[in-house]
Structure 1
C-alpha cells in the first residue's frame, strides 16, 4: 500500500492514474486502434502503484500488445506517477479480476462488462451494444452540434418517419458516436422491446466475411433485416469492399421497407465518400445529412466544467477558459486534457489552477505552439489551393487568391493565439478589420456550404498532424 494512504485512497489514486493514462493514449492513437486494443483491457494495480497487470482475452492480443503498446503504457504511467511502473500482461481469468478490484473505475472496464452486468434492455436475447452512459442529457449542446442533436432527438422520438436515414458527419472526437448511442438509449426507454443495434462499420464487414466463409447468409440477413433501429459508425470503412456494400444495400432497402430507422456516421458528407457504389451514396443522401462542427469556445468551456463535475471534481471557470482556448480540435482531446489536469492535481495534492493546468498540459501546449503557426497555416492553405505562399501577403485581389487568403486568416484566428492586428501584420500589414471581415465571412459560409466545410476539416486535420 502507498505509504500514509488508506486503502480507499490508494484505490482512488490507482483509478486516477489509469484514467490519466487512458486519456493520453486516446490522444496518441487513432480512434479505431484505441477502441480495438486499449479500451477492452481490464487492469489490476499493485497497492503501492509500482506495477500494473493488463488482462487480455487471448495470446495473439497479448503478443501484439507486448510488441506495440506496453512500452508506451509503461512510459506514460512512469511519467505520471514519478517513479518506474512495471507493466505485465496476463490472460483474462474466467471471473474477471476487475469485478472485485475497487481501483479500476467503471469507465476503464471493457464495454461488455458494463452492459452485461445487468440484463440489457431491448428484445429478449438481443444485445444492442449500446453504452448506457451516452445519453442526450450527458451531451453538452452548442452551435456546433445543435442541428445534429435536434435531428437525433426527433429520430429517437419518432423512428421510421422523418429523417430516414439520418447521416451525421464530422471530424474525429466531435460526438457523432455519442449521438448515435443517445438515440438508441432513448428509443429503448420508450420501447423496451425494440431491436436496436449499434455497430462500427468494421464489425459489419467482419460479419459479412464470416457469413461468406460459413455460408450463413440466411442467418446474417435475418439478424440485420429484423432490426427496428440500426446505428452504424464510420461507413467510410465500406470503401473498396464490394460484397459488404452489396449486403449493406440489401439491409438498407429491407429496413426502410419495414419502416425501421437507419442512422450512420462518417468523417465526410455522402458525396465526399470515395470508393463507395453510387447507388449506396444516393441512399445515404436520401434522408437528412447533418454536420457536427468542432465545438466553439463557450461550448468547450461548458464541456470541461460539466465533465469535471461528473468526475467528482470542480474546475474553476478561468481554468476552463484557459484549457478551452488551447485545446480547440475536438471533445475527446478536451476530455483527455481534463483527465491529465485532474490526475496531476491529485498526484501533487494541489488545487486546480491555470498554473497547474499549464504544468499538466506542458507537452500538449508545446506541441501545439511548435506545430501551428500563422506561417504554417499560410503554407498549408497555399499548397492546398495551389497558389504561392507569397500571395498570402501580397496585394493581389483576384478571387483565386483572395479566397484562400481569407480562409488562412480564418484558420489563423481559430487555431493560434494571435490577435487580429498580429494576424493582419503577418498577412502583408493588413488592417485588423480586414482580418475580422474574413473570419466572420468564412465562419458564416462554413455553416451553409458543405464543400467549404469539408475543405476546412481537411485543412484543420492536416495542420494538427
Structure 2
C-alpha cells in the first residue's frame, strides 16, 4: 500500500511539474482528462485517447514530460505512449474544441511562415557535419552523408537513417543541408519534419492549393524529412509522399529520411513506401561508445566555453550512456553550477551535482 501511495504521489507531482513548465492552459487542454500517467520501472507510460492526441503530445511536449519526470523522480525514464480509448469519454466537448483550434492555429502559422520564406528550408538549420563527432556507432551514417554531398548524383536514394532518441540523426540531416548550401549555392533544398509535410498537405487540400504544394516539394534538389515514422496510420499522406518521392527520384535528385525505427518496423506504413525506403541505403545509428562519448563531452564543453577535468569527462561518459542529449544536459548543469557558485568542477563536485542524473 505504501508503494502505491508513493507512486501516486509521484505521478501527481509529475503532472504539477509539467503544468508549471508548459502553463496551465496547455496542460488543461492537452493533459487534464486526456492523459493518464503510469510509472513502471524505468518507464513513464502516457495513456492517450487516440493516435492523434498521442502524436501531438509526443511532438510538442515530449521534452517537457521528460524534464518533469526527471525533476520528480531524480532519474531519466523512457516515455512511451499507449492508446487507451476509454479516455475519450473523459474529454469535455470544450476541451476537444480547444485542441482543434490550437492545431489549426499551429498549421496556419507554420504554413504562412514556411511558404513565404525566400529559402526553401522550412526549419532552422544550425548544425554542420564538421561538428558531428564520429565514432564506430555512427561512422557509416556519417560516410553516407558525406558521399551524398560529394556525388552530384547520389549512389543511393533515399538515405534512410534510423536509431534511438538523441543519437545524431537530426544533426546529420541538418549537416547535409548546410553542406548542400556550401557545395551548391543555387541548389533548391527543403528540410521539414513528417508532421510539417502532413499538416501542409492537409491544408493544401482544404484550400485547394495542391498544385503549389506539389511544386514546392517535388521541384527540389534535396528533400530531407525528419521523423518519417509520423506518416504511419495516414494512408492519404503516405500516398502523396510516395508520388513525391517517385518524382524526385526519377529526376535524379536526393532524398534523406530519418526515423526512430527501421522501415520494416514502422507499423501501418504501406508496403510501397517500405519497399522504396529499403531500396536505398538504410543505416542504423547506435548509442556511442565510451571513447565517442568522451569526445562529445569535450566538444560540447568547448561549445559552451567551459573546460572540465579529464576525470570529470570520463565520469560523465561512463555513467550517461543512452544518448547525446543527456550528456549535454549533464554538462550544462555542471557549467551552470560552476558559474553560479563560482566553484571549479572537481570529480567530487560532479558526483554531487549529478547525483539525480546518475
TM-score by length of 1: 0.53
1:181 aligned residue (154, 164, 174): 174
Q: Which residue pairs with 1:156 in the alignment?
A: 149
Structure 1 position 266 matched with structure 2 position 259: yes
1:198 aligned residue (172, 191, 209): 191
Q: Which residue pairs with 1:244 in the alignment?
A: 237
Residue 270 of structure 1 deviates from its aligned partner by 1.3
Structure-2 change in CA distance of 1:132 and 1:220 (3 Å):
closer
Task: Verify the 8 A CA contact 1:169 1:291 in the aligned structure 2.
Answer: yes
Deviations 1:245-274 (A, max 9, x none): 010001000000111100001111111111
> Which of these two proteins has the greater Rg computed from alpha carbons?
1
Q: Secondary structure at the match of 2:122?
A: coil
Structure-2 change in CA distance of 1:205 and 1:130 (3 Å):
closer
Q: Which residue pairs with 1:103 in the alignment?
A: none
Q: Which residue pairs with 1:141 in the alignment?
A: 134
Deviations 1:173-219 (A, max 9, x none): 00000000101100110111111111111111101110121121111
Residue 125 of structure 1 deviates from its aligned partner by 2.1
Task: Verify the 8 A CA contact 1:130 1:184 in the aligned structure 2.
Answer: no
Structure 1 position 231 matched with structure 2 position 238: no
1:286 aligned residue (263, 279, 287): 279
Matched ranges for 1:38-49 at <5 A = none
Determine which structure has greater relative contact order: mean sequence separation of CA pairs < 8 Å that are 6+ residues apart, divided by chain length. Answer: 2
Q: Within 1, Cα distance between the matches of 2:254 and 2:200? A: 20
2:338 aligned residue (339, 342, 345): 345
1:168 aligned residue (158, 161, 169): 161
Residue 133 of structure 1 deviates from its aligned partner by 3.0
Residue 38 of structure 1 deviates from its aligned partner by 9.7
Matched ranges for 1:441-456 at <5 A = none
Residue 129 of structure 1 deviates from its aligned partner by 3.5
Q: Which residue pairs with 2:99 in the alignment?
A: none
Residue 331 of structure 1 deviates from its aligned partner by 0.6
Q: Within 1, Cα distance between the matches of 2:118 and 2:310? A: 46
Residue 72 of structure 1 deviates from its aligned partner by 5.9
Q: Within 2, Cα distance between the matches of 1:314 and 1:300? A: 16
Q: Secondary structure at the match of 1:262?
A: strand
Task: Verify the 8 A CA contact 2:312 2:347 in the aligned structure 1.
Answer: yes
Structure-2 change in CA distance of 1:186 and 1:332 (3 Å):
same
Structure-2 change in CA distance of 1:252 and 1:182 (3 Å):
same
Q: Within 2, Cα distance between the matches of 1:131 and 1:31? A: 22
Residue 171 of structure 1 deviates from its aligned partner by 0.3
Matched ranges for 1:72-91 at <5 A = none
Deviations 1:351-372 (A, max 9, x none): 011112112211112xxxxxxx
Query: Which blocks of at least 5 consecutive residues in structure 2 are unaligned?
Result: 1-20, 22-43, 47-53, 73-108
Q: Which residue pairs with 2:214 in the alignment?
A: 221
Aligned residues: 267
Structure-2 change in CA distance of 1:210 and 1:282 (3 Å):
same
Residue 127 of structure 1 deviates from its aligned partner by 3.2
Q: Which residue pairs with 2:352 in the alignment?
A: 359
Residue 316 of structure 1 deviates from its aligned partner by 1.3
Deviations 1:213-249 (A, max 9, x none): 1121111111111111001011111111011001000
Q: Which residue pairs with 2:205 in the alignment?
A: 212
Task: Verify the 8 A CA contact 2:263 2:278 in the aligned structure 1.
Answer: yes
Q: Secondary structure at the match of 1:328?
A: coil
Q: Within 1, Cα distance between the matches of 2:270 and 2:328? A: 37
Task: Verify the 8 A CA contact 2:125 2:177 in the aligned structure 1.
Answer: no
Task: Verify the 8 A CA contact 2:147 2:154 in the aligned structure 1.
Answer: no
Structure 1 position 303 matched with structure 2 position 299: no
Residue 130 of structure 1 deviates from its aligned partner by 5.2
Q: Secondary structure at the match of 1:230?
A: strand
Structure-2 change in CA distance of 1:33 and 1:303 (3 Å):
farther
Structure-2 change in CA distance of 1:145 and 1:267 (3 Å):
same
TM-score by length of 2: 0.68
Q: CA RMSD in A?
A: 3.1
Q: Secondary structure at the match of 1:174?
A: coil
Structure-2 change in CA distance of 1:295 and 1:72 (3 Å):
closer
